[in-house]
Amino acid sequence: MDERDVTLAWQRLFREKPITPEALAKADELLDGLSGESPLHLRFATELGELKKLHARRPEASLKPSPKRRTSK
């Protein structure tokens, strides 16, 4: 899996869906497929760490991503 594939899979995991333990586990698997030196690995590892902290604080509630903001034209 290349970085493009990982990025697409990452977006599918978290875009407009609740954050579940299964999604977090799948994200860990995606990270394992990237080189530790990859800037994308660092970005996603940081993001995943934040998501895990949020999920740990509110385990009884499924965390949903924020709705997309619409920009005015």
Alpha carbons 58 and 9: distance in angstroms, whole number = 25
Residue 43 CA: distances (Å) to CA of 48, 61, 62, 72? 9, 25, 23, 28
Write out pLDDT tens, residues 23-66.
999 999 999 999 888 999 999 999 999 999 988 887 554 445 55
For the chain, domain boundaries: 3-57
Which helix (H) or strand (E) covers residue 53, if one does?
helix 39-57
Alpha carbons 73 and 61: distance in angstroms, whole number = 35
Looking at residue 71, what is its pLDDT? Answer: 58
Do 6 and 33 contact (CB within 8 A), yes or no? Answer: yes
